[in-house]
Amino acid sequence: MLRRSFLATAAVMMVAWGAQSFAGDEKPGTHEGKVVKVDANKLSMADKDGKNQQTNTVAADAKITLDGKDCKLADLKPGFPVRVTVEKKGDENVITKIEANKA
């Protein structure tokens, strides 16, 4: 009986973990990686190894810089190294700061 309960709990945790990974939301905090894609108000990035792709909404008032100079989200190109700051706003994790460098 205890074993079945453990297995059921483990299965539920795996499904929940998979759903969280699929959602693709970075957790609040600072993250480093590479730009994969920019689309309207979204930034898709991968970790430094080019894996674990995540997509987040970029706040309308986000501070975005490229090589230390203010820029627009559209100026960021795939492969650029980035450091992003993610904050919880309402029910969503959004990017509030992007620091990028040309690759």
Please tell me the predicted confidence (pLDDT) of residue 18: 39
> 16 by DSSP, 3-state: which?
helix
Are the CB atoms for 86 and 99 separated by under 8 Å? Answer: no
**Domains in the chain: ranges and CATH:** 26-100 (2.40.50.140)
State the pLDDT at residue 103: 67
- The predicted model scores a pTM of 0.74
pLDDT at 15: 41
| Residue ranges of the chain with per-residue pLDDT less than 50 | 2, 6-24
**CB-CB contact of 61 with 44 (8 Å):** no
